Amino acid sequence: MGGCCTDAAGELTRESNKLEILGGEVSMRKMVLLIIALLLTTATLVEAQENKLGITLDLTYVSKWMSKGVEAYGQQGGLFKTIDLDFYGTGFGVKVTHRNSTSSGNVDNQRFDYRPYYRSRLFEDKPYVTKYNISLGYEHYPGLARNVSNTTFEWIFAFSWPEIFTNGIVPTYIAHYEYPAGSHYNFAFITGWVHRFILGYDIPVPQLPAPIHISTELAYTDGLGDADHDWSYFTTGLATKFKINDNISLNPGLYHQISMDDSVSKRDVTYARLTMKYKF
């Protein structure tokens, strides 16, 4: 019996030592992670001290709000008010947008979007330098109950390659993934993707203070809003910029969308866009 108890006590001692060692390893891992987090935070704060908080106010009018190919307000236009906070040049920021129809009969369709983001660049000094912006938006309609309105989360993954072509053409790829913000919301069918493939090119015009920006966009709707899994629309556009002063600019644009899938849009649409930006 004594030998059995001795063996058991020894085994308990060995297990206790193992637990102490394991606890030490866990504590050490936590300490290493904490040190890394502190170093990253310190580096970010040092970088932030060299920059200022960026604040941009954006007021945009659209004659039609084409939300990923869909006429979100039907025949009505839209007015968007946005505040964009750039956190000291760290790449982190947040946008808050209020969207409403220009028609008084669409009060319940006004929407707030809250969108934190991170943007940066990869492969600097390479022909394939990549600009990217990754964000997650929370979209809700304040005049309606959240479970019966189209209250959603939306991820946006945007990538562009400004130097990959020597002729000035800039390709951009944007992926949207949207899904209901709650498990029992009525708009569960909204879940899906939209993939947008964009080409942009600037043409200098001596009579204008800024180039004319020509863009083309081809979109593939992958089930979003219960639409077909198919190529959905093709859009061409012209836009430019008028700099009023160092802080204020006007950005007009004209676009034409060709419908390719009736489950997204049943007709072609021409629409205009006018944006005023004020940077503090």
DSSP 182: S
pLDDT at 182: 82
**Which residue stretches of the chain have pLDDT < 50?**
1-6, 8-9, 11-30, 36, 39, 42-43
Q: Where are the alpha helices (DSSP H) in the chain?
A: 2-49
pLDDT at 44: 52
DSSP 74: T
Instruction: Domain ranges for the chain, please list them.
Output: 1-50, 52-279
For residue 51, what are the contacts with CB-CB under 8 A and spacing of at least 6?
88, 89, 90
Q: Are 201 and 214 in contact (CB under 8 A)?
A: yes
**DSSP characters for 10-61?**
HHHHHHHHHHHHHHHHHHHHHHHHHHHHHHHHHHHHHHHHTS--EEEEEEEE
pLDDT in tens, 9-51: 454 444 444 434 444 444 444 455 555 455 455 445 555 556 8
Residue with token string 């001692």: 13
pLDDT at 22: 40
User: The domain 52-279: what is its CATH number?
Assistant: 2.40.160.40
Task: Give dist(CA 84, CA 114) in Å, integer.
Answer: 10
pLDDT at 34: 55
pLDDT at 238: 98
pTM of the model: 0.81
Task: Give dist(CA 84, CA 60) in Å, integer.
Answer: 13
pLDDT at 15: 46
